[in-house]
Amino acid sequence: MSSPPRQLSSFVAQLAGSDKPDHALIASEIEALQAIYGEEAVQLWHPPEDRTARRNSPFSDTIRYTVTLSLPYDGTPDEPITLRVLVSLPPTYPSSSPPQLQLLSKYVGNFGADSALFGAILRTYISVNGVDWSPDTVCAFDGLQNVIERCTSWYEERLSADKASELLRMDAKEDKMVESKPSVSARPGTEIGGQGDASSALDLTTGIEVFVADPIVDRKSVFVGRACRLTDPTQVPYIISMLRADKRIARAAHPTIWAYRCQVGSTLYQDNDDDGETAAGGRLGHLLQILELDDVLVIVTRYFGGIHLGPDRFKHINNAARNALEVGGFLDSDSSDPKRRGRKH
């Protein structure tokens, strides 16, 4: 039996010599795919039930071949992440019909592909989020690139969800280890970042509850919002220092992006800090202003996942803060939405 590349080469030669104009276009397209993805990446497909009796033929109803694709994932996994996609060309391709793509791989990396991903790839040429197709235009390459983009996004979403779950598991584990210790509001004798002795810190933070919202995850970055009630602006540095003393928070790229507003008598005090995320603190301050909230401190922790989010990061920082405000009951809106649910520190 000849090797797969030779089988495909022979098949392409038959297509090129056919008297059907569409076959010449298909032959050129397959050769282009080989040049792009590698000769070994493109192979004729034979039904698994009988690999010897049934073969592709330029004169059969449907032409089928597989393409092995690699995901451009920059997280350097142990093994390259590859996919195998079946390309089916109906008899009227490309004159009046698009191809059909089918994901043959059951796994993408370590994650089992789900029905939503399989369905999205099947609908590549008929979905609004898919690929535009025009009669008499070959488009298998565009569809395969769309598959790469979809699968990369799908894979990174699962990695992000895994990372968030790991953070929550670590939170739960560490909370269990220190469950006998009081929270921020009652850690007697804890030294606070050199900003005063333990007794003064205790006086300033006694009775404060810090509410924590569930993480927001996007492209491997994780955003965690916290909020607490203030009675005096001098409480802020002690609360921030105590949060940064938590190793889980301290390891973040931006541990404490914060803003507060606090009314003392007739004077309104307000301030914010970006913690290295330029303009983020000011946006949190603006959020408190437009929500008309006083006597409250919001803090957002961002764990950077290695992929730049652009302006989306500010949206997530604001949403993380707002979620924490809802969890803490600082807003009038209903905080029973599971996506906005959180816990107390």
Q: Same structural domain for residues 81 and 221?
A: no
With cut-offs at 50, 70 and 90, classify the pLDDT of residue 173: low
pLDDT digits (tens, 9 = 90+) for 190-218: 333 333 343 334 445 556 788 998 888 88
Mean pLDDT of the chain: 80
pLDDT number for residue 60: 57
Question: Is there a contact between 296 and 227 (Cβ–Cβ < 8 Å)?
Answer: yes
With cut-offs at 50, 70 and 90, classify the pLDDT of residue 142: very high
Query: Is 260 a member of any domain?
Result: yes
Peptide bond into 94 cis (omega under 30): yes
Give me the domain span that covers residue 19.
4-47+59-156
Q: What percent of the chain has pLDDT over 70?
A: 76
* CATH code where residue 300 lies: 3.30.230.30
pLDDT number for residue 167: 64
Residue type, 87: V
Q: Which of 77, 13, 3 is nearest to 43 (CA)?
A: 3
Query: Is 54 a member of any domain?
Result: no
Residue 83 pLDDT greater than 80, yes or no: yes
Sign of CA dihedral 164, 168, 169, 171: positive
Cβ neighbors of 113 (< 8 A, separation 6 or more) are 103, 105, 106, 107
Query: Is 10 a member of any domain?
Result: yes
Residue 183 pLDDT greater than 50, yes or no: no
| Identity of the highest mean pLDDT range in 51-60, 111-120, 155-164 | 111-120
* CATH code where residue 117 lies: 3.10.110.10
Q: Same structural domain for residues 76 and 145?
A: yes
Q: Same structural domain for residues 127 and 270?
A: no
Whole-Å CA distances, 14 to 8, 20, 180, 233: 10, 11, 77, 81
Last residue of a domain, one of 156, 177, 196: 156
Cβ neighbors of 125 (< 8 A, separation 6 or more) are 98, 99, 100, 101, 131, 133, 139, 143
Whether this prediction's pTM lies above 0.85 is answered by no
- CA angle centred on 175, ends 157 and 341, rounded to 5°: 50
Cβ neighbors of 93 (< 8 A, separation 6 or more) are 22, 26, 63, 99
Mean per-residue pLDDT, 175-182: 45
Question: Is there a contact between 62 and 74 (Cβ–Cβ < 8 Å)?
Answer: no
Query: Is 215 a member of any domain?
Result: yes
Q: Count of domains in the chain?
A: 2
pLDDT number for residue 311: 85
